Amino acid sequence: MRRTPNYNLILGCTLTAATVSVIILGFFWTPYEPDAMSIAERSVSPCAAHLLGTDNFGRDILSRVMQGAGTTLEIAFLAVSIGATCGTLIGGLTGYFGGIADEIIMRVNDAVTAFPSVLLALVAVAITGGGKTNLIIVLGILFIPSFARVVRGEFAKQRNMDYVKNAKLMGVTNLRIMFVHILPNIAPVLLSSIAIGFNNAVLAEASMSFLGVGVGPTESASLGRMLLDAEAYLFSAPWQALSAGFAITILILGFALISDGMGYRPTWRPVAKRRRKADA
């Protein structure tokens, strides 16, 4: 029997690895200074000197995409880190111990998740003010309920498993059971949720920066901010929006395929047996 390959995970990892490689390269080298302006090269279409063209300020779009993708991924990474860490702690404690605290926290969780996260983020950022730091904090806090719900459900299932009961009989502490015994067993589910979180964080940054309440114009470029700057030139210089939009699409597609691939269940197919030639 031969196991069928996990094509979604392979393609997702390939796309994500290629994108991250370009982002890492952008930390050390870009074709031009991302914020350098040139009046003589305003809105130049893609050419040999500027592979993705220039924007209305004469800035090289390829350099800005490399920088902008790094900023967007940085926001996504920090926001998901906050949400996953706090959500895992809350979900693990409530799912393992249960009781009235579990009921209260989960009802609050349900109330928060009943509202669209982007809408709540818009309200929160409008109150606290825009900027990369505030955006990271707001998104991180809003991601906590989704991670807490997933982890809580997994811990509630695992706490009644035989290996947990055996560990308790052996005198193992609850914290050790939670984070040494149970947490590694729910790692595939948690990693899949983290991939979805990256997907949502990239979308949230792009949406909020495009609406003007995310990354500010004086901060480093982000993909969402580039879309906002290119809005007025969709017809006269469409390559400005297409470049940032394509980068967002690749990031989202990569994380979505990784998340889907982590839930993959392999199927087995029979291998055709070769017939042996009869001896002459």
Report the Cα 268 to chain-centroid distance in Å: 31
Q: What is the predicted pLDDT for the residue at 249?
A: 92
Provide φ and ψ at 268, rounded to 5°: -115, 135
- Orientation angle between helical segments 187-210 and 117-128, nearest 10 degrees: 60
Would you say 58 and 42 are in contact if contact means Cβ atoms under 8 Å apart?
yes
Q: What sign does the CA torsion over 169, 175, 181, 186 have?
A: positive
Per the rule left: phi > 0, alpha: psi between -120 and 50, beta: everything else, 273 is beta
Write the pLDDT tens digit of every residue in 127-159.
Answer: 777 788 888 998 999 899 889 999 998 998 988
- pLDDT tens-place values along the chain, 280 residues long: 566 778 888 898 999 999 999 999 988 889 999 988 988 898 889 999 899 999 989 999 999 999 999 999 999 999 999 999 999 999 999 988 888 888 888 888 877 777 777 778 878 877 777 788 888 998 999 899 889 999 998 998 988 889 898 988 898 898 899 988 999 999 888 998 999 999 999 998 888 888 888 888 778 888 988 998 888 888 888 999 999 999 999 999 999 898 888 765 555 455 555 555 544 4
- Write down the pLDDT at residue 1: 54
pTM: 0.86
Q: If phi over 0 gives left and psi between -120 and 50 gives alpha, with beta otherwise, what is residue 9?
A: alpha
Domains of the chain: residue spans and CATH: 64-264 (1.10.3720.10)
| CB distance 266 to 6 below 8 Å | yes
